[in-house]
Amino acid sequence: MELGVKISGSGFILYRGQGAKLQRALINFFLDHATAEGYEEIQAPLLVNEDSARGTGQLPDKEGQMYYAEKDDLYLIPTAEVPVTNIYRDVILRDENFSIKMCGYTPCFRREAGSYGAHVKGLNRVHQFDKVEIVRIEHPDKSYSALNEMIKHVEILLEKLELPYRILRLCGGDMGFASAMTYDFEVYSAAQQRWLEVSSVSNFETFQANRLKLRFKNEKGDSVLAHTLNGSALALARIVAALLENHQTSEGIRIPKALVPYTGFEFIR
C-alpha cells in the first residue's frame, strides 16, 4: 500500500513476488473457467469514446466516477463490460437463433469520488483493480435462464476458491438505474468481520440494447431489441484480501487446491 501511494497516490496498490503471481494466477483461472464454459475471450481497449460509455449506461449517470482524458475525449473504462458490450453497438443480428457469450480481462479504473471512512481503506476500494467480466447477449425469452447460468458460474468460482460467500438479490432502490435485476455476491472478511461485494450479475433487458441499437430479426423479419447481461467473474482486489484473510494457517497462507496449478506454490509464507 505504501509503494502504491509513493508511486501514484492514495487508492493505488502494488503487488510484488508471490502477491503479483497470485494476482496473475487468479486472472488466468477466471479466464480459463469462462472459456471452458463457452465464453469467447476478448482483449479490449482500456479507453472508450463517449458513445461507448453512453451505450452501456455509464454516461450520463457515472461521469463523476470515471477518469477522463480531456485532450483525447476518451474515458478510462470502469469495467470490461463497456468495450465488450459495445462490440455489438449498431448491429442487427441475422435471426433470433443466437446466444452470444463473451469474457474479458481488463484493469478497471474508478475515481471512487465521495468515498471515505474505514470501509474504503486497504483493498476495499481502490482506483485501479483487475477484473474478469462475463457478458451475454440473449433473446428476450432466454435472458433470465442466462442470468441463472451466470449466477451459477460465479458461485462455482467462489466454491473452488474455498471462500465463504452469500448471494443477495437487490431491491429496486439498490440497483443501478440500467438494471432490471441484479444479484450481488459477497465474501466474508474475517479481519473486518463483515461481508464485502466481489461480484454483481445483472440483466439489463433492453435498456442497454436500446441505447446501443442492438437488435435481431425475428421470424417475421421484424427488428427486435435483444437483452444484455453482464457479471463480474471475478473482481480483484477484494478476492485477494479474502484469500489472505480466510486461508491463514500456522504454515502460512494456504492457496486453494484449484489455484495451485496456476500459482506453482501452495503457501504464501
Q: What is the pLDDT of residue 122?
A: 57
Terminal CA-to-CA distance of the chain, rounded, Å?
19
Range of the domain at 212: 18-46+78-268
Query: How many CA atoms lie less than 13 Å away from 20 in the CB half-sphere?
Result: 4
Cell of 180: 432490471
pLDDT recorded at residue 113: 58
- Domain assignment of residue 165, yes or no: yes
Q: Looking at the 3D structure of the chain, how many domains does it have?
A: 1
* Domain containing residue 176: CATH number: 3.30.930.10
Q: Is the dihedral of CA 76, 79, 84, 89 positive or negative?
A: negative
CA 191 to chain CA centroid, Å, is: 24
Asked if residue 60 is part of any domain, the answer here is: no
For the stretch 93-132, what's the b/e string if a residue is b when 16 or more beta carbons lie within 10 angstroms of its beta carbon? beebeeebbbbbbbebbbbeeeeeeeeeebbbbbbbbbbb
Task: Using 70 as the pLDDT threshold, list the residues of the chain that sit under it.
Answer: 113-123
Residue 8 lies inside a defined structural domain of this protein: no
Catalytic residue among 54, 211, 215, 238: 238
Of 110, 136, 211, 215, the catalytic one is 110
Choice among 37, 155, 197, 266 that is catalytic: 197
Q: With respect to residue 67, please indicate whether it lies within any of the assigned structural domains.
A: no
Q: Is 199 a catalytic residue?
A: no
Question: Quick one: pLDDT at residue 121?
Answer: 56
Supply the pLDDT for residue 190: 83
Instruction: Report the C-alpha dihedral over residues 203, 144, 231, 58, rounded to 10 degrees.
Output: -10
Identify whether 238 is a catalytic site residue: yes
Determine the Cα–Cα distance for residues 196 and 239; give it in Å rounded to an integer: 9
Query: Is residue 68 assigned to a domain?
Result: no
pLDDT digit string, tens, across residues 9-29? 999 999 999 999 999 999 999
What pLDDT was estimated at residue 120?
52
* Catalytic entry in 200, 202, 232, 245: 200
CA-wise closest residue to 136 among 53, 37, 61: 37
Instruction: List the grid coordinates of 100.
Output: 452470444
10 occurs within a structural domain: no
How far is it, in rounded angstroms, from Cα 178 to Cα 72?
A: 27
- Is 35 a domain residue? yes
24 has catalytic annotation: no
Name the pTM for this structure: 0.94
Q: What is the pLDDT of residue 62?
A: 81
Q: Which of these is catalytic: 125, 155, 254, 266?
A: 125
Does 54 map to a domain? Answer: no
